[in-house]
């Protein structure tokens, strides 16, 4: 899987799974590549645009997009993602 495909899949996942629980638009904010997956951090567009702490998300684990085409899922924010992927 190429980066652009993984990025688009992560944003679709956020659109489908976060839209109903958040009033603000949630967007991909960062990315890290691991041997078996792309890992995407995210936050609200408003926070990323102007740094408004009232608009930030808290405790959000990253979106994990497996490179083998497996199911996309949310990682935990309670432990390092590298440990979760091991």
* Measured distance CA(19)–CA(12) in Å, rounded: 10
Q: What does pTM read for this prediction?
A: 0.91
Query: Would you state the pLDDT for residue 46?
Result: 95
Sign of CA dihedral 14, 75, 36, 69: negative
If DSSP codes are grouped into helix, strand and coil, which group holds residue 75? coil
* Measured distance CA(70)–CA(86) in Å, rounded: 16
pLDDT in tens, 18-77: 877 778 899 999 999 999 999 999 999 999 999 999 999 999 999 999 999 999 999 999
- What residue segments make up the domains of the chain, in order of their start? 3-79
């Amino acid at each position: 899987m190429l980066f652009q495909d993984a990025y688009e899949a992560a944003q679709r996942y956020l659109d489908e799974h976060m839209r109903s629980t958040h009033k603000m638009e949630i967007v991909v904010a960062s990315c890290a590549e691991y041997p078996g997956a792309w890992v995407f951090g995210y936050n609200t567009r408003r926070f990323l645009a102007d740094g408004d702490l009232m608009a930030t998300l808290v405790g959000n684990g990253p979106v994990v997009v497996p490179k083998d085409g497996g199911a996309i899922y949310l990682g935990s924010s309670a432990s390092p993602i590298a440990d979760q992927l091991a």
